[in-house]
Amino acid sequence: MTVETFSSDFIARLRHSRGVDLETASQNDLYSALAWTVRKNLIDRWLETKKTQAAQKAKVVAYLSAEYLLGAQLNNMLLASGLEQTARDAMASLGLDFDKLASVEVEPGLGNGGLGRLAACFVDSLATLDIPAIGYGIRYQHGIFRQTFVDGRQAEQPDNWLELGSPWELPHPEASVTVRFGGSVAHATSATGEDVATWTPSWEVEAVPYNYLVPGYGTANVNSLRLWSARATQSFDLQIFNSGDYEAAVRAQTFAENISQVLYPEDSTPQGKELRLQQQYFFVAASLRDMIEQVGTSLDALRTLPERVVFQLNDTHPVIAIPELMRLLVDEYSVAWDEAWDITRSVFNYTCHTLLPEALEVWPVELLGRLLPRHMEIIFRINDDFIAELREQRPHDELLVRRMSIIQEQPLRAVRMAHLATIGSTKVNGVAALHSELLKDKVLVDFSNLWPGKFTNVTNGVTPRRFVKLANPGLSSLIDEAIGTGWVKDLSELRQLEPLAEDAEFRARFRDVKYANKVRFAKVLQERDGIEVSPDAIFDVMVKRLHEYKRQMLKLLHVVSLYDRVLKGDFDPTTLTKRVVLFGAKAAPGYLMAKEIIALINAVGKTINSDPRLDGRLRIAFPANYNVTLAEKLIPAADVSEQISLAGKEASGTGNMKFALNGALTIGTLDGANVEIRELVGEDNFFLFGLTEPEVEQLQSAGYQSAKYYESNPALRGAIDLIASGAFSNGDRSAFERVVSDLLWHDRFLVLADFESYIEAQSTLESAYADQDAWSRAAVLNVARSGFFSSDRSIRDYLDRIWHAPAVPLR
C-alpha cells in the first residue's frame, strides 16, 4: 500500500463514515478514520483466516477469561500490518501529527492487572503462532477505573472508554445468544428410566458479540477476540412480560443491561457479589453456545468435541462453564450423564493464578442455587459422584472427603470453584515453576495426591511485540543491528547478544539507549503529571497493583529510613546516589489498607521532594493511573525493577519479565517467576534478598512477632517512628496509625522480617550502579538471557503439555 492510497482511503473514510472533511474533523474523527484505514488492511486476512480454519475443522483453543487488559490498539495493528511508516508518512503528507492522533486513543482497560494482561499477551502469541484460537470475554462498558489523587488519596473515576466509540470492534447483534437465569427445575423419568430435568428460567438477557481482530506478527494469520455485551431481550422478565405489565418490563430492562456495565476492580480478592456471578455465567454460557454451534449439535458432532475444541479456564472466573457444558449435553442434547462427563472433563483445563487463600473464589450455595438452580443440582451430582469415587479409593477418611468436597460447609455453605475446576479438568497448571510446586504441595495437595498426572506448570510470558519492539524502539534497533530481526518472533535468539556484553562499544550504545529512554520518560512524566525527574538519577521502579503481599511498604520503608538517617545526620546526603523511586499502583476501591499505603507514599513524596537537605538526590514520583500505556513508556526507562513480594505469595508476576527484557536489573525475592529469572540471567546479575518460602513457613508457624524486628533494628525503628511522629502528616500522629500499627502488631507479609536483608541488597545495588560499565554488562545479560519469558514460549508449552492443537498456517 502506498502513502497516496493510504491518504485517499483515510480522507474517504473521514467523509463517508464520519461525515466531515479535513478542515472540520475533530481529533476523534481523525483518530477514528486512521484506525479504520489501518483495520481495512487486516480485514481480508481475518476473513481468510476464519475460512481456512473452518474448512480444516482444526482444533480450536478457546481461551475463557473474564479480563483482557489489552492496552492501546493502533500501534500494535500497524506493526502487524506493516504499515507503520506508510501511516506516518500519510499523516505527515496531510499536515497531521501521527503521534498526537495516536495519543487520542483511550486504552481498553478490561482487566485489573497481571491476569488480564496475560490473557492479552496469550491471544497475541496464539495468533502469531498460527494457532486456531478465540479469546472469549466481556465487553465491559466501564473498564478499570481511572485513578486520580486528591490530597494524596486515591479517588476513582469511571472509565468511559466507549464514550466516543471504538473503531476496533465489529458488533454482530444478529448473532446474539440468549442467556437465561433464575427460575426452577422440574424432574421427570424418561421411558428408559433416566432422570429428565427441565429448567424453567425466570429471566433472560441477550449476549451480543463484538469481534476484535487479533493479528499475528510476521504471519497472515488474524484471530478473533469475541467480547460479549448484555442487552435486554423483549421479554426480559418472563413473568412480568406474561402478566402484561409493560412499564415494569421496560424498567426491568436496565437491570439486564447492567450485566456488562462494569469490571469489578478487585484484584486477587474477589467479592461474592451476585452481579459478578451473573457476569461469569453470562459470558461463559454465550461462549459455549457459540463454540458448540461451530462444531455442530448432533450427537455425532458433540462426541467429537474433544478433537475440535479445548477450553482454557483463566482462573476460576469462568469455571461455571463446567456445569454449563454438562447442562447443555445432558438436558438440551440428551447425552447420557457419564458420557457427557467424559466429554466435559476432556475439553476443560484450568489455570490457577494464586496462592492466597482469600483469592480462592467461593459462591454461597444459596446464591448460586437461586441464580442458576439447574447448575447447582449439577454441581451437587458431580460432587456426589466424586465423593463416592474418593471413598472407594481412600476408605475411612472422612476428613479428606470434607477437605476435598466441592462444597464447603463452614463458615458458610458454598461452592469452592477451584475444586470444581480441578475435578472437571484434564490438566491444572500453575503459572511459574515455584507456584506450580506450591500448588501441588499446598493449595491443592489432596488433589495432586489423588491425581499426580493432572498437575503441570506453564511459566507465564509477555509478548515481545508490545513490550519490546513497540515500547522500546531504541533497544529494538540496537538488537536488530546486532543480531537481525528474527528475535521478535523467536525471542530465544536474544541469546546471540550474550557475547556483546563483553563488547565495550556495544555496552556504551546500550547505555545510550537507556539514557535516551529515561530522557523520553522524564518528558512524558512532566507533560502527563507535572512531575519533574532527572534522567541522571537511578530510576528505581515499583509498578503493579497495590497489595500488601506485594509489599510496596517495604520499598517505602527503605526510602523513609534513608531520609531518617539524613535527618539524624547519620550520613551526608551528598554521598547518596541520586535516585528517583517511581511508584505506579491502583488499589481496589474497597481495600482500605491499600488506599492508606497510597496516601502514605504520596505524603512521604511530598515531604522529601521538597526538603532542601536532600538536594534533590532522593525523590518519589507516583504518577496516577498506572495502565498499559504508562507501562510501555516507563519500563524501557527503568534501571531497577522492584519485585519484592513475600516469598510464596506472588504466583508468577509478569511485570518482572517486562523489566528484565528491557534491561533493568531486578532486586527481588525468591518468589514467582523471579526464581526463574534469576536462574537464567545469572545470580551475579540479580539482587537477591529476603526469606525463602520454607523460611517464611517456619517463621510463621513459630509465631512471628514483627515488633521484635522493630526493637532490634535501629534503622527500621527510625523509619517507623518517623512515620508515627507525624513527620509526613503535618504533625498529625494519628494520620497513618492504621499502617503503623498493622506493621507492628500483624505484618502478615513479613515486611519487618525482610527489611534488613532488603537494605543490604539495596546498598549492594548502589555500589554496583557506581560502576556504570559493569552495570551495563549485567543489563545486557538480562536482555540476552530473558528470551524464555516470551508468551510465545508459554503458548508452545500449553500446546505441548495441555492443548495439543496443531498450527494452521494460511496457504
Ligand X SMILES: *Cc1c(COP(=O)(O)O)cnc(C)c1O
Interface stretch with ligand X, choices 91-99, 221-229, 650-658, 737-745 (CB under 6 A): 650-658
Least Å distance, CB 571 to ligand X, is 32
Least Å distance, CB 658 to ligand X, is 6
Paired residues of 539 in beta bridges? 580
Report the residue number whose CB is nearest to ligand X.
Answer: 655
Out of 39, 276, 327, 353, the active site residue is 353
545 is catalytic: yes
Least Å distance, CB 746 to ligand X, is 23
> Does the footprint of ligand X cover residue 631 (CB under 6 A)?
yes
Binding mask of the shown chain, residues 64 to 103, with x at each position contacting ligand X by CB under 6 A: ----------------------------------------
Which ranges of 61-138 would DSSP assign to H, the alpha helix? 74-81, 84-93, 98-102, 114-128
CA distance 211 to 394: 48
Interface stretch with ligand X, choices 83-91, 351-359, 406-414, 625-633 (CB under 6 A): 625-633
Is 199 or 622 the residue whose CB approaches ligand X more closely? 622
Dihedral sign, Cα of residue 86, residue 92, residue 96, residue 99: positive
Is 507 or 545 the residue whose CB approaches ligand X more closely? 545
654 is catalytic: yes
> Does the footprint of ligand X cover residue 430 (CB under 6 A)?
no
Task: Tell me which of 78, 292, 628, 783 binds ligand X, using CB under 6 A.
Answer: 628
CA distance 289 to 708: 58
Is 209 or 461 the residue whose CB approaches ligand X more closely? 461
CA distance 615 to 613: 5
Interface stretch with ligand X, choices 14-22, 284-292, 555-563, 653-661 (CB under 6 A): 653-661
Interface stretch with ligand X, choices 375-383, 528-536, 627-635, 675-683 (CB under 6 A): 627-635
Least Å distance, CB 121 to ligand X, is 9
Q: Is 714 exposed, middle or buried (0-12, 13-18, 19+ CB in 10 A)?
A: middle
Is 268 or 607 the residue whose CB approaches ligand X more closely? 268
Phi, psi of 562 (to 5 degrees): -60, -45
Residues 768-787 binding ligand X (CB under 6 A) are none
Q: Which residue has the cell 491476569?
A: 115
Is 116 or 323 the residue whose CB approaches ligand X more closely? 116
262: cell is 462494569
Is 39 or 545 the residue whose CB approaches ligand X more closely? 545
Is 88 or 545 the residue whose CB approaches ligand X more closely? 545
> Does the footprint of ligand X cover residue 653 (CB under 6 A)?
yes
Binding mask of the shown chain, residues 577 to 616, with x at each position contacting ligand X by CB under 6 A: ----------------------------------------
Least Å distance, CB 643 to ligand X, is 7
CA distance 559 to 608: 9
Q: Helix (H, G, I), strand (E, B), or coil: what is residue 276?
A: helix
Nearest to 464 by CA among 794, 81, 47, 36: 794
Out of 544, 586, 595, 785, the active site residue is 544
CA distances from 737 to 420, 717, 733 (A): 41, 15, 7
Least Å distance, CB 675 to ligand X, is 14
Count of H-run helices and E-run strands, the chain:
34, 25
Residue-by-residue DSSP string for 677-718: HHHHH-GGGSEE-S--HHHHHHHHHT---HHHHHHH-HHHHH
Interface stretch with ligand X, choices 246-254, 312-320, 648-656, 675-683 (CB under 6 A): 648-656
Q: Is 266 exposed, middle or buried (0-12, 13-18, 19+ CB in 10 A)?
A: middle
Out of 180, 427, 440, 550, the active site residue is 550
Amino acid at 354: T
Please say whether the beta carbons of 493 and 787 come within 8 A. Answer: yes
90: cell is 500519510
Please say whether the beta carbons of 83 and 39 come within 8 A. Answer: no
Q: Which residue has the cell 497489595?
A: 547
Nearest to 574 by CA among 631, 615, 518: 615
CA 472 to chain CA centroid, Å, is 21
* Strands, E assignment, 297-445: 309-314, 348-351, 362-364, 407-408, 414-416, 428-430
β-pair type (665-668, 195-200): unpaired
Out of 617, 619, 658, 777, the active site residue is 658
Residues 654-683 binding ligand X (CB under 6 A) are 654-655, 658
Binding mask of the shown chain, residues 104 to 143, with x at each position contacting ligand X by CB under 6 A: ---------xx--x--------------------------
**Torsion of Cα atoms, 357 then 359 then 364 then 370, to 10°:** -160
Is 144 or 362 the residue whose CB approaches ligand X more closely? 144
Q: What is the largest CA-CA distance in the chain?
A: 90
Please say whether the beta carbons of 196 and 189 come within 8 A. Answer: yes
Is 180 or 544 the residue whose CB approaches ligand X more closely? 544
Out of 86, 654, 666, 669, the active site residue is 654
Paired residues of 543 in beta bridges? 584
Interface stretch with ligand X, choices 253-261, 591-599, 604-612, 651-659 (CB under 6 A): 651-659
Q: Which residue has the cell 557475547?
A: 499
Is 83 or 432 the residue whose CB approaches ligand X more closely? 432
Interface stretch with ligand X, choices 438-446, 503-511, 519-527, 626-634 (CB under 6 A): 626-634
Nearest to 340 by CA among 359, 353, 354, 322: 322
658 is catalytic: yes
Q: Please count the residues of this chain forming the interface with ligand X, following the rule CB under 6 A.
A: 13
Least Å distance, CB 161 to ligand X, is 15
Interface stretch with ligand X, choices 7-15, 176-184, 621-629, 774-782 (CB under 6 A): 621-629
442 is catalytic: no
Task: Tell me which of 53, 268, 627, 791 binds ligand X, using CB under 6 A.
Answer: 627
Least Å distance, CB 431 to ligand X, is 10
25: cell is 474533523
Least Å distance, CB 620 to ligand X, is 18
Is 122 or 282 the residue whose CB approaches ligand X more closely? 122
Nearest to 709 by CA among 701, 699, 695: 699
Is 259 or 795 the residue whose CB approaches ligand X more closely? 795
Dihedral sign, Cα of residue 627, residue 628, residue 629, residue 633: positive
Binding mask of the shown chain, residues 536 to 555, with x at each position contacting ligand X by CB under 6 A: --------xx----------
Amino acid at 809: P
Residues with active-site annotation: 353, 544-545, 550, 654, 658
Which residues form the interface with ligand X (CB under 6 A)?
113-114, 117, 544-545, 626-628, 631, 653-655, 658
